[in-house]
Amino acid sequence: MITALSIILIVLLVSILGGLIRVLRGPEPAERMLAAQLFGTASVAMLLILSRVMAMPALLDVALVFALLAAVTLVCFVVLAAKGGR
């Protein structure tokens, strides 16, 4: 069970690292932001799986904080972009 979950964790991590190519290439800031959003959700999934693998329910609180605050950076980006300068 643990082994299988660990392999899934590796798959998720590799998928995040692959997505970094989009961050590097861009070209739109909105796309870079979107990629960060996807990584945030994938990290929540990884934390959920880790809470089982490591038998540490406290990790659910970490995931909860991620889930709640995920929007803050993106809202900041949209507000600043609407203000101009870009």
Partner 1 sequence: MLLDLLALALIAVGAFFFVAGTIGLLRFPDTLCRLHALTKADGLGLGLTCLGVALLAGTAGEVVRIVLIWFFVATSSAVCGHLIARHVRRAANAGGR
Partner 2 sequence: MVEPLLLFDALLGLAIVALAVAVLTVHDRFAMIVLFIVFGLMSALAWVRLSAPDVALAEAAIGTGLTGALLLTTLHHIRAAPAAPVPVPGGVVVANLGLCALIFGGLAFAFLLTPLQAPGLAPAVAQNMAASGVGHPVTAVLLNFRAYDTLMEVVVLLAAIVAVWMVERGTVQAPAPVLGEIYRGFSRLALPAIVVIGSYLLWVGAQAPGGAFQGGAVLAAVGLLLLLGRLYRPQPAHRPFARAGFVLGTAVFAGVALLVAGGGRLPFEYPAAHAKTLILLIEGMVTISIAVTLAALFHGREPEAVPVSEKSE
Residues 2-41 close enough to bind partner 1 by CB under 8 A: 4-5, 8, 11-12, 15-16, 18-19, 21-22, 28, 30-31, 33-35, 37-38, 41
Using the rule CB under 8 A, is 68 a contact of partner 2? yes
- In the complex, what is the shortest distance from the CB of residue 6 to partner 2, in angstroms, rounded to a whole number? 4
DSSP for 21-73 reads HHHHH--SHHHHHHHHHHHHHHHHHHHHHHHHHTT-TTHHHHHHHHHHHHHHH
Decide: is 13 part of the binding site for partner 2 (CB under 8 A): yes
Q: In angstroms, what CA-CA distances link 10 with 43, 69, 75, 80?
A: 12, 25, 30, 35
CB of 52 to partner 1, least distance (A): 5
Name the minimum Å distance from CB 39 to partner 2: 5
